[in-house]
Structure 1
Amino acid sequence: MTPIACHECDLLLMPLELSAARSQAYCPRCGARLYGCHHDRLEKILALTVAALTLLVTAISFPIVGLDIQGHYAETTVLDAAQALWREERGLLAGLVLLTTVLMPLFELGAVLWLVLPLWRGWRPWGFARVFRLLRLAQPWAMVEVFVLGVLVSLVKLSHLADVLPGPAMACFGGLMALLAALSVLIDPPALWQAWDAARPLPFAGGALRRFRKARA
């Protein structure tokens, strides 16, 4: 669990030490406001996550761009582009495209659902600290904005050779980029730990833990 440093007096506090203030927290030494939690924060995170998952699945399924060269039309998706790179013996580049554009955003959104959905229902998710740590490690690898920028540069360079027609996946990736940025602002570690402290343990998780302890005794 990452401690919180007061921006006024540099006092280090653990998030669970501040759980008494349900909507906001103040430094006990200087009284500075550390953070505030909106009651609808979890609902906003869930709504944005579901919307981002929908856009991600749509962006993977539909073409990114189409090329019309002298009457011959061709289009490609992200998975098709990765397969083409693999066939051209550029396996490392194909893996990076899949990792940063598909797998890491999918893992990030899945981890957010794993953490926030039980908290929204009033339960503590299993493996909260471990999953949250993995989420923070995965966030820098979700480079949707880099992919979108690369596609836009390629479109500009190909515009004098063929008629370039952006596909529906381009708009989906643009929306996904905006939603991921909004999620990074809403997902506040102290607020999530505060919600975890106020939630109840999962009943089946507690029973499984007791059975495990009895088996080891």
Structure 2
Amino acid sequence: MSTLNRNDHIACHECDLLLSRPVISGDEVVYCPRCGSRLISSHPNSVERSLALALAGLILLLPANLFPVLTLEVLGRQQAQTIFSSAMALYDDNLPVVALCILLFAALVPLTKFVLLTYLSLALHLQKPWPGLALAMRGYQHLDEWSMLEVYLIGVLVSVVKLVDIAEVHPGLGLYSLGTLILVTTLSSSQLDPDLFWHQIEALSEDVTKKEFADE
């Protein structure tokens, strides 16, 4: 009796219809014949692009968090604000929850996302069955819904509009880095092919299992 190879089949994420895995290339998109939902799409060089974008994101996180986002000048006095200093200012104003949200969603969550994406894409690029790949993939997909850099940037822009009449506002390197980081984050989410990543993770896992049985 033949066994069902998971790598040769795919299940619809909406209606659980089991289908033979189609071979696609270019910018092709496959839809479920039962419910019409998007099944898989092709992202050429998804692993390599994800690795490059993850490394770029890790690099941009440094200036985005360490350099001033805005510098305010009032009556000859200047005050620079970074993401961390703005969170500390909110904490000092008895808003610890808001301060914690800024640190989590503007710094820690993006950092964790790019670390996980670097780990995943580098392992798949090198075809190395590193431990915890499936867990890292699930963690990345979960955190992808919680990155809120855009919300922080909108808050900064609103502050600029409100303060421009009472103070001189000078955008800093942190603001430009933050804008570029948001672009890189958006590109990394759009270029990642979840089906391809899961397919290769399962293939590496099966290779390890076969090797263990062979050694026994």
Find the counterpart in structure 1 of residue 97 from structure 2: 92
> Could you tell me which amino acid in structure 2 is paired with residue 194 of structure 1?
H
- Shift of residue 41 of structure 1? 1.9
Q: Assess if the C-alpha contact under 8 Å between 1:122 and 1:200 holds in 2.
A: no
Cα distance between partner residues in 2 of 1:91 and 1:33: 42
Residue 9 (structure 2) pairs with residue 35 (structure 1)? no
* Partner in structure 2 of residue 139 of structure 1: 144
Q: Deviations over 1:108-157 (max 9, x none)?
A: 11111121111110112322222211212211211000100110010010
TM-score (norm 2): 0.79
Q: 2-side partners of 1:27 and 1:96: how far apart?
A: 38
Residue 196 of structure 1: how far off its partner (Å): 2.4
Question: What's the counterpart of residue 122 of structure 2?
Answer: 117
Q: 1:163 aligns with which of 168, 189, 202?
A: 168
Checking the alignment, whether the CA contact within 8 Å between 1:125 and 1:202 is kept in structure 2 is: no
Change (3 A) 1:91 1:36: same
Equivalent of 1:5, from 8, 12, 15? 12
Aligned residue type for 2:12? A
The one-letter code of the counterpart of 1:50 is L
Structure-1 residue corresponding to 2:193: 188
SS in 2 for 1:141: coil
**8 Å Cα contact 2:106/2:148 also seen in 1:** yes
How many residues end up aligned between the 2 structures? 197
Aligned partner of 1:56 in structure 2 is 61
Contact 1:104–1:141, Cα closer than 8 Å, also in 2: yes
Return the letter of the residue paired with 1:35. S
Q: Distance in 2 between matches of 1:28 and 1:168?
A: 46
Segments of structure 2 that go 5 or more residues without pairing to the other structure are 1-5
Moved more, 81-90 or 92-101: 81-90
The answer as to whether partners of 1:45 and 1:116 remain within 8 angstroms in 2 is yes
**Over aligned residue pairs, what C-alpha RMSD do you find?**
3.1
